[in-house]
A and B are shown apart, each in its own frame.
Chain A
Amino acid sequence: MSNVQTKPLLQVDHLSIGFSQYVKGTQKRIIHPIADMHVEINEGEIVAVVGASGSGKSLLAHAVLGILPSNAIFSGKMLYRGEELTPARMEKLRGREISFIPQSVNYLDPLMRVGRQVQIGLDPRTARAQQEKLFLQYGLQKNDGRLFPFELSGGMLRRVLFATSVREGVRLVIADEPTPGIHPQALSEILRQLKQFAEDGAGVMLITHDIISALEIADRVAVIKDGATVEISEASAFEGNGERLKTEYTQRLWRALPQNDFDLEFKREAVR
């Protein structure tokens, strides 16, 4: 919600990320999946980041956290609470002030019981009770904590991943696709929690394809295409046929939802 004190929490400006690849032997080349990305998140604000798959949304998250692969080269400006985000600072902040919900359930340790994984970073005296409370909150059973990741379904693993992000003192939450594969009830619990983060004054970056769910809680929506920010709009602009959206790409994205026209895209193609 647009609070009275809207201080920018995270500012990303002209971010560009390249990867050096070996082509043949020692020949290198550089590819640039992210060319010009900018995003700003205020305290207490939820910004949804949507866009084509492969457009670099996850890379944006990884850049802010400082967990890009070692062959990445990046330039641009990233400010967190008005100060530059240096690699040393990122390392200090991530997992503490900046919490991250990764996209792939592969990020869980396959050899550790899921309950233990959620307890990491919690106060050891109360960790267990807190973890059980979180499980209950997200509709997981108490004895699910004894299971290993392979014994849980995709949607349950999502909720475990989400539970790992709920910590005291979190100021910025970066959620990379936290919602696919979970049923509506668990989904609304996750949305509620994200909103709770924002109400407690944290900024939330919600990377997602599920525009409909994101709109329930987001204040603004940043649209990414081919590694650049093409549009930042108020969430309220996503309505009707998308007349209030600024770019053609965003309008198409909006209309292609199954809730909207879905096959409009092909009707046009069929005519061509």
Chain B
Amino acid sequence: MPLIGENLGHYYQKDRWIIKDTNLSVAPGEVLGLSGYSGCGKTTLSRILAGYISPRIGRVSIGHKTLERRAFRPVQLIYQHPEKAINPKWRMRDVLIESYTPSQDILDAFEIREEWMNRWPVELSGGEKQRFCIVRSLNPATKYIIADEMTTMLDAITQARIWHAFLGICKSRNIGVIVVSHESSLLNRLCDNIYKVGSGG
């Protein structure tokens, strides 16, 4: 059951369209890249697909069914800025297990250390926080994951490792992945197909 966005259009201020007439689909197990200018609407499109905002026009569906509100979201979004996606007043352990309790294997795959669990979000680096965001998105009920500039704050070695672990898990569970990035060399490495957002700006 592919994730399909049909005819999507959205603006924040009246008639300043950020995206318009956008159609895209991702199949289970597929890795789709989204590239484009900063400010062209990649993040907005990601948030629409994940159901965080409803588009002004168009619809998002999985297997011809629109997404249910007030239920677990099968489309999970990993944000560009982990510090904005984590409750600053929760300890990392609580952040991690809010959605489900991940197995030790997953924690090891992302090299999450036990000593980080009792820390506050401010006591971890951006890259360390992002690993928690990745793991908590891998709920067993997750069908699609949108990774919005997921590894821009990581060094090259960690970036390569995390993508390897992440795509390994997604492939084995047949999760469809949308990779949002500016780095064309990274997209070329990771993706089956690449979609350019906002032709012309």
Q: Which chain A residues lie closer than 8 Å to B149 at the CB level?
A: 154, 180-181
A122 within 8 A of B: no
Residues of B within 8 A of A180 (CB): 80, 149, 152-153
Chain A residues with CB under 8 Å of B38's CB are 153-156, 158-159, 181-183, 186
Given known pairs A183-B38, A258-B186, the reply for A53 and B156 (CB within 8 Å) is no
Q: B69: CB under 8 A from chain A?
A: no
A256 touches which one: B43, B126, B159 (CB < 8 A)? B159
B33 within 8 A of A: no
Which residues 179-212 in A have Cβ within 8 Å of B in the complex? Answer: 180-187, 209, 211
Query: Given A53-B127, A103-B126, A258-B189, does the pair A209, B157 have CB atoms closer than 8 Å?
Result: no
- Write the chain A residue with the least CB distance to B154: A53
- Answer whether residue A52 sits at the interface, using C-beta atoms and an 8 A cutoff: yes
Q: Does A252 sit at the interface, judged by CB under 8 A? A: yes
Confirm or deny: A152 has a beta carbon within 8 angstroms of a beta carbon on chain B: yes
In this assembly, does B72 line the interface, its C-beta being within 8 Å of a C-beta of chain A? no
Count contacts between A and B, CB distance < 8 Å: 109
CA separation between A257 and B156, bound complex, in Å?
Answer: 5
Complex: how many Å from CA A262 to CA B189? Answer: 8
B125 within 8 A of A: yes
- Residue in A52, A58, A103 whose CB lies within 8 Å of B158: A52
A259 close to B (CB within 8 Å): yes
Q: For residue A187, which residue of chain B has the nearest CB?
A: B182
Tell whether, in the assembled complex, residue B182 and residue A181 are in contact, meaning their CB atoms are under 8 Å apart: yes
CA distance A159 to B38 in the complex (A): 10
B174 CB, nearest partner CB in chain A, Å = 21
Query: Which chain B residues (1-47) contact chain A, with CB distance < 8 Å?
Result: 12-13, 36-39, 42-44
Residue numbers in A under 8 Å from B84 (CB-CB): 106
Segment 105-149 of B: residues with Cβ below 8 Å from A: 123-128, 149
A-B CB proximity, top 6 nearest: A155-B38, A53-B127, A180-B152, A54-B125, A256-B156, A258-B185
* 12 A/B residue pairs, CB under 8 Å, sorted by A: A53-B128, A153-B43, A153-B44, A154-B80, A154-B81, A159-B38, A180-B153, A181-B149, A209-B156, A252-B157, A258-B183, A266-B160
